[in-house]
């Protein structure tokens, strides 16, 4: 059974600091997704990583994928309060891309002014 583990599950940090969220998964996959969820809202797609070594950046967020290590990271640079949310990674092991996703438990991120 595929397992997806995120850490940390809870993170409180100050504005301006850098931090990394880690996502480990237990089975070979070359498709990994990062989502953001604000309280009471939908999951918003942040990044889709499709191959080993993939790196994507959007603003202060950068995601990377190492399929050999079965590890993805979401790096936050110079955090700002607006990035406070819950972040999920999710893995698709089918290869075809259209199957259901397996999610991590989510990282609840609070950024203090």
State the residues that interact with another protein by CB under 8 A: 4, 33, 35, 40-45, 48, 50, 88, 90, 92, 96-106
Would you say 68 and 56 are in contact if contact means Cβ atoms under 8 Å apart? Answer: no
By beta-carbon proximity to another protein, the closer residue of 18 and 45 is 45
Q: From the CB of 48, what's the least distance to another protein, in Å?
A: 6
Would you say 77 and 60 are in contact if contact means Cβ atoms under 8 Å apart? Answer: yes
Q: From the CB of 97, what's the least distance to another protein, in Å?
A: 4
Q: From the CB of 73, what's the least distance to another protein, in Å?
A: 19
Would you say 48 and 113 are in contact if contact means Cβ atoms under 8 Å apart? Answer: no
Q: From the CB of 105, what's the least distance to another protein, in Å?
A: 5
Tokens of 24: 């480990």
Count Cβ neighbours within 10 Å for each residue of 2-36 and write b for 16 or more, e otherwise.
eebebeeeebebeeeeebebebbbeeebbbbbbbb
By beta-carbon proximity to another protein, the closer residue of 54 and 79 is 54
By beta-carbon proximity to another protein, the closer residue of 72 and 79 is 72
By beta-carbon proximity to another protein, the closer residue of 12 and 45 is 45
What is the SS3 assignment for 49? strand
């Amino acid at each position: 059974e595929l397992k997806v583990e995120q850490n940390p599950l809870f993170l409180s940090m100050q504005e301006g600091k850098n931090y990394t969220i880690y996502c480990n998964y237990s089975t070979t996959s070359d498709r990994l997704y990062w989502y953001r969820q604000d309280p009471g809202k939908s999951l918003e797609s942040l990044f889709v990583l499709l191959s080993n070594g993939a790196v994507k950046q959007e603003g202060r967020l950068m995601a990377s994928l190492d399929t050999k290590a079965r590890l993805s990271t979401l790096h936050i640079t110079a955090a700002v309060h607006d990035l406070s949310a819950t972040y999920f990674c999710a893995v698709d092991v089918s290869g075809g891309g259209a199957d259901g996703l397996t999610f991590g438990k989510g990282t609840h991120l609070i950024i203090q002014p």
